[in-house]
Amino acid sequence: MRIPVQAFGLMFLMLLAPLSGCVGENNVESLSASSLSIAESESLEAGMWQIITMEASEDLAVFIPYFIQDPGSMRAQNGTVLNMESGDKVSMNILFPPRNEEIVFFLGQIGRVNWPIREPDQSWMAWLNNPSQGSAVQAVVNQDTGGEWPWLVTGNVTGGDVIPLVMETSRPFRADLSEENGVGASDGWVNGRDVYEWVDFIADDTPCATCGPDGAVGYLDRWIGNANPSYEHAITYFEGVMQGYGLDRVEVHRFQWNTAWAVNICGYKDGSVYPNEWLIFGAHFDIAPPVAYTPGAEIGVPGYGTRHGAYDNAAGSSMVLTTASVLAEFDARRTMVFCLWSSEEEGLWGSRSFANDLPDGVTVSNYLNLDMAGVNYPGDYALSVYLGPDGTEEAIDQAGMFHLAEWIGADALDLGYEMERGREAWLAGGESPLWGDIYEDTVAIYESPTARSDHDSFQNIGVATLGWNGLVDGYPCYHRECDTMETMIEYMDTDNSTGINNLVHSWDIVTWWAVYAFLHMDQTPVPNEL
């Protein structure tokens, strides 16, 4: 059963027993996986908020390691522990991981507080094959006003053995698509096919004399200058799109930078607990103008701007739109801000103007950036997951952000093997080869010393950031008119899959990664550790 998140309003059939103190020994001999049943176990949906009902046939505690919606605060939180007596039933709204086929709950003695936890670079299924007892979490009182279910924080002891309850899930999909068109990532709370269709629309160059000043169905020629009519036309349209999502407000910000104007479009979902802490998700909407420097131009390679800007950066902009459309449903703790930046190609004018002119009393808790994501894994190119600020260019300075990126990638996205390959590639050659060389099955998480996109604007004001991109300097249509959807499809074609299917799955991975990071950061921001 699928319902909108905001409609979750259940009458619970039990009152949760209060958590007792830490038990000295976890006696699980009387428990088995059958001690807890899930009424909807035959139709558990991956990548979709779903109401399930749990019923206990023994006194037990259940550790739920997935995002749930607390019935008191109505906010998303990363897991919980619930105590249940025999015969008790509990219903909950839960989000199962979108890109794996199995999920697991853990059972223990009623009143149990301490539980083992997987390592950040491994999935729960990998942990079950070799259960380590090193890392732990502890159930503590809910930190939200009105919250009912315990939060999970890092613990010192595991509490002993657990009983796993493993169940299968399946991802919903659209009946009108085939595998070659990305049917496997075509449905869910967010999905790569929606992103694909946004990019295809924005970069659609079908001639249309009545559609706008750029003479096409899509929104092309999006370079920013003084009163570029094509850019202004796009601003009006996408302002309306964001208003349709039900955000609290949508604002067009105009900032003068030297003699030009930076024009950003930002949608706001006001936080109900910390409204002056802003969690920002952004991508630049502008494209390289005709006078932009393009590597290779000095040796006669055609360049100096583009018209479509499909990869750079209709792709990132489309993921911002897709993310805003679903997160607008949530009662968030912090104000969520979704921005399409202008003038990134001129020197980050739009994001710098925004970051340097925040309202009095407002701080930015974290920033997520999307720029040129798509031509990467599962194609024959690396997916880069970059974080910062970087201080040493050697050791990991942002341990918390690195942990979070690995935590999401390993389980929710089932990328443990690909992340291991990415780590090896990063250690061997650093960032530069990842932007240009061919890499199969490679997802690299690392601190980036470069500052070629809008994340730099927020790092400069002391904010820890997270971002995603793929092939950059090795992309032959970088800042060129051939940066079209057709070129992206061609570059993502592999021996075992079509370019369209790979693109859809690429955007599915990145969008889900960003959404999960957003949910985590709303509950617990990641500090800048420099």
Average pLDDT over residues 390-406: 92
Q: Model confidence over 422-475: pLDDT tens digits?
A: 999 999 999 999 999 999 999 999 999 988 999 999 999 999 999 999 999 999
Distance in angstroms between the alpha carbons of the first and the last residue of the chain: 45
Q: Model confidence over 36-79: pLDDT tens digits?
A: 999 877 789 999 999 999 999 999 999 999 999 999 999 999 99
Pure H helices in 225-348: 229-243, 315-327
Distance CA 417, CA 180 (A): 24
Q: Judge contact between 330 and 340, C-beta under 8 A.
A: no
CA distances from 449 to 307, 345, 395, 468 (A): 30, 19, 12, 14
Minimum mean pLDDT range among 68-72, 164-168, 302-306? 302-306
Assign 430 to helix, strand or coil: coil
Q: Judge contact between 446 and 421, C-beta under 8 A.
A: no
Q: Model confidence over 320-378: pLDDT tens digits?
A: 999 999 999 889 999 999 999 999 988 899 999 999 999 999 999 999 999 999 999 99
E strands, 458-499, in order: 465-469
Pure H helices in 157-252: 192-202, 229-243
What is the predicted pLDDT for the residue at 257?
Answer: 67
In the chain, list all ranges with CATH 3.40.630.10. Answer: 182-523
Residue with the two structure tokens 């630049």? 284
89-95 and 76-84 beta bridge pairing: unpaired
What is the predicted pLDDT for the residue at 256?
Answer: 77
Q: Nearest-CA neighbor of 220 among 435, 456, 485, 427?
A: 485
What is the predicted pLDDT for the residue at 259?
Answer: 61
What are the residues whose beta carbons fall under 8 Å from the beta carbon of 175, sequence distance 6 or more?
Answer: none
Evaluated on CA atoms 401, 402, 407, 413, the torsion sign reads positive
Q: Nearest-CA neighbor of 444 among 477, 472, 405?
A: 405
Distance CA 83, CA 519 (A): 25
| Percent residues over pLDDT 90 in the chain | 82
CA distances from 284 to 158, 235, 339, 509 (A): 44, 13, 8, 20
Q: Judge contact between 224 and 286, C-beta under 8 A.
A: yes
Assign 477 to helix, strand or coil: coil
What is the predicted pLDDT for the residue at 18?
Answer: 30
CA distances from 469 to 91, 338, 451, 501, 511 (A): 39, 18, 13, 18, 12
Assign 49 to helix, strand or coil: strand
Q: Taking 80 as the threshold, does the pLDDT of residue 9 lie above it? A: no
Distance CA 200, CA 315 (A): 9
Average pLDDT, the chain: 91
Pure H helices in 430-498: 431-434, 455-459, 485-491
Q: Nearest-CA neighbor of 417 among 126, 131, 65, 134?
A: 126
Residue 142: asked if its preceding bond is cis (omega within 30°), the reply is no
Residue with the two structure tokens 């730099």? 456
Structure tokens given for 336:
């969520």
Q: How confident is the model at residue 22 (pLDDT cuts 50, 70, 90)?
A: very low
Q: How confident is the model at residue 12 (pLDDT cuts 50, 70, 90)?
A: very low
Q: Taking 90 as the threshold, does the pLDDT of residue 10 lie above it? A: no
Please name the amino acid found at residue 248: D
What are the residues whose beta carbons fall under 8 Å from the beta carbon of 146, sequence distance 6 or more?
Answer: 72, 73
Distance CA 290, CA 131 (A): 57
Structure tokens given for 49:
């908020």
Distance CA 394, CA 22 (A): 40
Residue with the two structure tokens 């399409």? 340
Query: Is 366 or 288 the better-scoring residue by pLDDT?
Result: 366
Distance CA 321, CA 194 (A): 10
Distance CA 69, CA 80 (A): 10
Q: Model confidence over 98-109: pLDDT tens digits?
A: 999 999 999 999
Assign 170 to helix, strand or coil: strand
Structure tokens given for 335:
């104000």
Q: Taking 60 as the threshold, does the pLDDT of residue 260 lie above it? A: yes
Q: Nearest-CA neighbor of 81 among 109, 123, 51, 122?
A: 109
Q: How confident is the model at residue 26 (pLDDT cuts 50, 70, 90)?
A: low
Q: Model confidence over 195-230: pLDDT tens digits?
A: 999 999 999 999 999 999 999 999 999 988 666 899
| Global confidence as pTM | 0.93
Q: Judge contact between 250 and 242, C-beta under 8 A.
A: yes
Distance CA 118, CA 115 (A): 10
What are the residues whose beta carbons fall under 8 Å from the beta carbon of 42, sequence distance 6 or more?
Answer: none
What is the predicted pLDDT for the residue at 245?
Answer: 97
Q: Judge contact between 75 and 65, C-beta under 8 A.
A: no
CATH architecture group of domain 182-523: 3-Layer(aba) Sandwich (3.40)
What is the predicted pLDDT for the residue at 262?
Answer: 79
Distance CA 59, CA 80 (A): 17
Structure tokens given for 455:
């994340």
What is the predicted pLDDT for the residue at 5?
Answer: 38
- β-bridge mates for residue 174, sequence order: none
